[in-house]
Amino acid sequence: MSPGARIAAFVAVLVLVFGGAALAGGAIEPRGADPSAGNDDNMSGETHAEEGATDTAHAPDPVRGLAVAADDLRLVVDEPELRRGRSSDLRFRIVDTRGETLRDFDVTHEKRMHLILARRDLTGFQHLHPTQGADGSWSAPVRLDDAGSYRLFADFSHEDTPQTLATDLRVDGDTDLRPLPAPRPAAKSDGGYDVRVSAEGAHPGQEAELRFTITRDGAPVKTEPYLGAGGHLVALREGDLAFLHVHPTEQSRNTVGFGATFPTEGRYRLFLQFKHAGRVQTVAFTQEVS
Ligand SMILES: [Cu+2]
């Protein structure tokens, strides 16, 4: 390397180091400067309704589920490769920095662990409640009928801190990936209920009000309590499957409402689940945010 090239390379390294430090400083500084800001990540979904109403400047992080580890906790799946079309015991655990399996979880939405599965093309949604073994690990019988790469979300709360950690599962075989369906205001649940969605304020960074109106054969359907609310909603972003913070807001007649903050423009898939006549229904919508 010539002396000139050497100096250029050295300068480039300096730029990288200091540029990176400046970026990191910029990202970290606001938190250090405002002690209350650091608590935002710790704000549980349950307290959001009360605290968020009086302190809208410090809303909880609307995006979760992009990391396999956060806040000294890590999601570990025993066997991330599944056989297609076979029911098998999916076992996973949450471990701390010493590798110890966590045993204590808070109850949120009536359960201590919520397991969400979705293929990368946002098909194959499943919402399961695994059982905990004496060693703290979680397991659930899982069957995936289509090959591909799946996202596994472990949604839980530990020491009053809500967490959504995620990792990938694989099902080997020919994969028939499907494009995301175009946005439509109406869809049918897997059990034949008609659901209409209305989204008010679905703009980046704002809290949108999502309302779902449910009918069956034209007659209004009032949902039964499911996981402590009139319904349960999971919202995932197309592209990276970011898992949005969503909370129930209202239930009136045959309508259930949720507050959700879409962090960016783009398309999202909404998975609504509700209970009626003792059965859980699932229905999905594409939501465009611009
Ligand atoms: Cu759940």
pLDDT digits (tens, 9 = 90+) for 86-127: 999 999 999 999 999 999 999 999 999 999 999 999 999 999
Backbone angles phi, psi at 264, to 5 degrees: -145, 170
Helix segments in the chain, DSSP class H: 3-33, 45-54
Backbone angles phi, psi at 75, to 5 degrees: -95, 125
- Dihedral sign from CA coordinates of 205, 283, 194, 180: positive
pLDDT at 256 over 50: yes
pLDDT at 52 over 50: no
* CA 110 to ligand 1 center in whole angstroms: 8
pLDDT digits (tens, 9 = 90+) for 4-31: 555 555 445 444 444 444 444 444 433 3
**Residue 4: per-residue pLDDT:** 54
* CA 269 to ligand 1 center in whole angstroms: 17
* CA 113 to ligand 1 center in whole angstroms: 7
- pLDDT band at 189, cuts 50/70/90? very high
Residue 148 burial (CB count, 10 A): 20
Token pair for residue 179? 């494009």
Nearby residues of 43 by Cβ (< 8 Å), 6 or more positions away? 51, 52, 58, 60, 162
* CA 215 to ligand 1 center in whole angstroms: 24
* CA 157 to ligand 1 center in whole angstroms: 12
Span 67-71, mean pLDDT? 96
* CA 16 to ligand 1 center in whole angstroms: 44
CB distance 48 to 60 below 8 Å: yes
* CA 42 to ligand 1 center in whole angstroms: 20
* CA 244 to ligand 1 center in whole angstroms: 14
* CA 117 to ligand 1 center in whole angstroms: 11
Residue 145 Cα distances to 30, 137, 208, angstroms: 46, 25, 34
* CA 35 to ligand 1 center in whole angstroms: 32
Nearby residues of 83 by Cβ (< 8 Å), 6 or more positions away? 171, 172
Map residue 38 onto helix, strand or coil: helix
* CA 43 to ligand 1 center in whole angstroms: 19
pTM for the complete prediction? Answer: 0.79
* CA 4 to ligand 1 center in whole angstroms: 61
pLDDT digits (tens, 9 = 90+) for 138-177: 999 999 999 999 999 999 999 999 999 999 999 999 999 9
List the end-to-end C-alpha distance of the chain, in Å, as a whole number. Answer: 50
CB distance 106 to 90 below 8 Å: no
Reference 154, options 135, 170, 171, 137; nearest CA is 137
pLDDT at 265 over 60: yes
* CA 111 to ligand 1 center in whole angstroms: 6
CA distance 149 to 129: 21
